């Protein structure tokens, strides 16, 4: 059985006319990636080796076994961007959607709190919960650089509120660079358990490292299954001819669509369990490709919810979007004939909710296609660890190929780094005198105000 099926019918010119792509152009662009693909696998980027490397699996297993003996009730993950989005994706996809609400939903696993923002309101509410269970709260602190001010500040606050308890040190795991950074200094000084991000693997490509896999292991998720899916997808991408290669074909479509003026890539899962994946993809595409005035803008939309908030724009608004559907639905639920006396809704009674869900998806796709709005569908046979691992690796490779087509470095983020520097300057970091003058000058010029 095919675990993924890519249907690109509705991006072709034979289907939607001049707004679409000629198949020969997709083949031509894909052929440019054929040679690059061979070269790439001869000298792969570090993230490409992760599925076969199984980096620190032994260390993660031993640490998780130790933690299980501590009867942990709360897992608090401190991390932002690539340090948290992969884990959130895995949790949303593979855990009960109401995992935190009741013990029956958790099956003995801890609640989880992912602090991917420094809004004080959320931080204070998490502290209110965890202060009552200090002895049973695990902190997982993640920063590839070890210098992320948001994550460091969160750690400082939680160390103050939870750190006075006995054996606090044994309930902290830090995931960071092996050789450098503030978090490494803290580990060396205070003796916390540590796992590492492999050399050369950036945050947004780190989901298949301890960054995404260790918290998943603590939650009882089968990380071998995730990595096996990625490994098999890697084999597909490495070995399949370019015309049958899903990553090469997807990259070619997205590139040609953007070149054709479809500057917005809407990722629209019809599968609520993939909501987190859409968030993960947004960072991956935006941060990897938005350079040198190039790159598309990735947007998230949710089916069926956003049929009632965004679809009007997609069908009749500017012709600047390519819609990428992810579809998966397995479970059933019969719709009873509760109001048989109302003729106008009688057609729903006796049908299955899964069939309605599918009909909503097909209806959306047809409405876009009739309006000559390009869209394609990646259908997943199921949502499990194996398929999720394959999906992660597929899109990491798609972005790698897009970086080659755009001729940009998909693995840096200079625009983000400048914002980090100004943040540190505003907070008074001593070696940023010049930057602090710039920020102070900008703040003093902020006088064009309207008040209510």
Per-residue CA distances from 126 to 112, 122, 157, 192 (Å): 10, 6, 11, 22
265 is catalytic: no
> 92, 287, 291, 396: which one is catalytic?
287
How many Cα neighbours within 13 Å face the side chain of 140?
Answer: 32
> 18, 121, 308, 430: which one is catalytic?
308
Q: Which two tokens stand for residue 337?
A: 């004939």
Indicate the Cα dihedral angle 259, 239, 230, 398, nearest 10°: -10
Q: Is 166 exposed, middle or buried (0-12, 13-18, 19+ CB in 10 A)?
A: exposed
Q: Which residue stretches of 207-352 are H helix?
A: 210-218, 223-239, 246-259, 275-289, 311-316
Preceding peptide of 438 cis, ω within 30°: no
Which DSSP string do the residues of 136-194 spell out, in sequence order? GEEEEEEESSS--HHHHHHHHHHHHHHTTSTTGGGGEEEEE-SS-SHHHHHHHHH--EE
Which DSSP string do the residues of 258-294 spell out, in sequence order? HHTT--EEEEEEESGGGHHHHHHHHHHHHHHH--TT-
> 32, 96, 184, 420: which one is catalytic?
420
Rg (CA), the chain: 24
287 is catalytic: yes
Nearest to 109 by CA among 218, 223, 222: 218
CA end-to-end span of the chain: 61
308 is catalytic: yes
Nearest-angstrom CA–CA distance, 169 and 166:
8
Nearest-angstrom CA–CA distance, 83 and 181:
15
Catalytic residues: 287, 308, 420
């Amino acid at each position: 059985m095919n675990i993924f099926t890519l249907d690109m019918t509705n991006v072709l010119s034979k289907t939607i006319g001049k707004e679409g792509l000629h198949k020969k152009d997709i083949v031509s662009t894909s052929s440019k990636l054929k040679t690059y693909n061979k070269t790439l696998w001869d000298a792969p980027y570090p993230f490409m080796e992760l599925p076969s490397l199984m980096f620190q699996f032994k260390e993660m297993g031993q640490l998780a076994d130790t933690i299980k003996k501590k009867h942990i009730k709360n897992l608090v993950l401190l991390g932002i961007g690539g340090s948290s989005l992969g884990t959130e994706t895995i949790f949303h996809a593979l855990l009960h959607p109401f995992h935190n609400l009741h013990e029956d939903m958790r099956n003995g696993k801890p609640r989880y709190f992912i602090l991917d923002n420094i809004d004080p309101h959320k931080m204070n509410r998490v502290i209110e919960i965890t202060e009552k269970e200090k002895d049973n709260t695990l902190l997982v602190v993640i920063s590839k650089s070890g210098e992320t001010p948001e994550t460091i500040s969160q750690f400082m606050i939680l160390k103050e509120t939870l750190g006075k308890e006995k054996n606090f040190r044994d309930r902290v795991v830090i995931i960071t660079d092996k050789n450098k950074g503030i978090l490494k200094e803290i580990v060396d000084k205070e003796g916390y358990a540590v796992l590492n991000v492999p050399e050369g693997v950036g945050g947004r490509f780190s989901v298949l490292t301890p960054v995404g896999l260790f918290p998943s292991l603590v939650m009882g998720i089968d990380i071998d299954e995730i990595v096996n899916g990625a490994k098999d997808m890697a084999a597909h991408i490495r070995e399949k001819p370019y015309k049958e290669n899903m990553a090469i074909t997807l990259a070619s479509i997205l590139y040609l669509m953007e070149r054709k003026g479809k500057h917005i890539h809407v990722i629209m899962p019809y599968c609520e369990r993939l909501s987190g994946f859409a968030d993960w993809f947004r960072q991956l595409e935006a941060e990897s490709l938005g350079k040198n005035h190039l790159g598309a803008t990735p947007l998230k939309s949710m089916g069926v919810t956003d049929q009632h908030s965004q679809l009007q724009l997609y069908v009749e608004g500017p012709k600047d979007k390519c819609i990428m559907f992810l579809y998966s639905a397995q479970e059933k639920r019969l719709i009873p004939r509760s109001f048989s006396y109302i003729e106008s809704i009688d057609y729903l009674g006796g049908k299955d909710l899964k069939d309605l869900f599918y009909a909503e998806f097909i209806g959306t796709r047809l409405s876009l296609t009739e309006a000559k709005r390009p869209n394609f569908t990646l259908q997943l046979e199921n949502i499990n660890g194996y398929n999720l691992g394959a999906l992660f690796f597929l899109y990491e490779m798609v972005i790698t190929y897009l970086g080659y087509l755009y001729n940009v470095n998909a693995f840096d983020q200079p625009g983000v780094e400048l914002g980090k520097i100004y943040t540190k300057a505003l907070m008074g970091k001593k070696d940023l005198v010049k930057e602090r003058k710039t920020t102070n000058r900008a703040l003093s010029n902020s006088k064009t105000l309207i008040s209510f």
